[in-house]
Amino acid sequence: MKQLIIISFLFSTLFGQTNFVKGMEQYLNRAEGSSGMKAQAGPINSAISLFESSLSENEEESMLALLKCYYYKGKFVLTNVESKKSIFQKGKDLGESSIEKYPKSASLRYWYLANLGSWSEVYGILTAAKEGVSDIMKTQAEEIISLDPYYWNGGGYFMLGAVHFKSPYIPFILSWPDNDDAVSYLTQAYETGRSTFTQTVYLARALHKDKQKTKAIQILTDLIQMPLSDDEPVEDFEQQSLAKDLLNDWE
């Protein structure tokens, strides 16, 4: 929580009490009133409204903030499938326009992919295949690595590893997905900066698929014993819950 207060102070110092700063304060408090992996709508809805109002003031920063908000709302606030489709569509559309406008931003590309990946999950495999989501995510992840390999603790490597892990191998159509590559890239992400809960779960899944069951079980066992972070408690709770489910299935 101390870190959130410092970040909020820095934004206030840099930008003053603009809609963007007010939006950041709401976003940093997005887990207020949450229970497990279910967040309350109030803080994130307020953040979204403020960031949408601040697009004319700080366009690039507001676009990035909105991508984070849309992703969070779709993952942890909304429960209805159609509502999820709507918010991730917003994230997909905004992501496409933002990276076209700011092509050198690794952060915009990363959060575009976060929304695109979630969009493909709720719209389904066939729709995602028609849109060429796997190829898009691979290309964009490689671009993130080229622009900033350290962004979001190796986020480009994570996205590249995740798309190799999740995409189906289809001869003559989608022939590049490879679990060995998934393990390699996810390991690079895990070893870059601070390993995140999400990176750990994906790496464990790829290792298990690679017949490295003992190692996969160990890193998940370590993960569920870790305290939730102050800045991402809802996100971390989701990954710990998934880790527990995986361990139950594997053991």
Q: How far apart, in whole angstroms, are the C-alpha atoms of residue 183 and residue 1? A: 33
User: Which runs of E-coded beta strand occur in 50-91?
Assistant: none
Q: How far apart, in whole angstroms, are the C-alpha atoms of residue 43 and residue 32? A: 7
Predicted confidence pLDDT, tens digits, the chain (251 residues):
445 445 554 555 555 689 999 999 999 999 999 999 999 999 999 999 999 999 998 999 999 999 999 999 999 999 999 999 999 999 999 999 999 999 999 999 999 999 999 999 999 988 998 899 999 999 999 999 999 999 999 999 999 999 999 988 778 678 899 999 999 999 999 999 999 999 999 999 999 999 999 999 999 999 999 999 999 999 999 999 999 999 999 98
| Per-domain boundaries in the chain | 132-251
Quote the pTM value.
0.91
- Report whether CATH 1.25.40.10 matches the domain 132-251: yes
Determine the pLDDT at residue 9. Answer: 47
Determine the pLDDT at residue 174. Answer: 84
Q: Which two tokens stand for residue 2?
A: 């101390």
Determine the pLDDT at residue 228. Answer: 96
Long-range contacts of 28-37 (CB under 8 A, 24+ apart): 28/4, 28/231, 29/4, 30/69, 30/72, 30/234, 31/232, 31/233, 31/234, 34/76, 34/233, 34/234, 36/234, 36/237, 36/241, 37/76, 37/234, 37/237, 37/238, 37/241
| Torsion angle of the four alpha carbons 90, 95, 101, 104, in this order, in degrees rounded to the nearest 10 | 160
Determine the pLDDT at residue 17. Answer: 82
Determine the pLDDT at residue 251. Answer: 81
Q: Report the greatest alpha carbon distance in the chain.
A: 55
CA distances (Å), origin 126, targets 86, 102, 114, 123, 189:
18, 30, 19, 8, 29
The answer to whether 134 touches 177, Cβ cutoff 8 Å, is yes
Determine the pLDDT at residue 1. Answer: 45
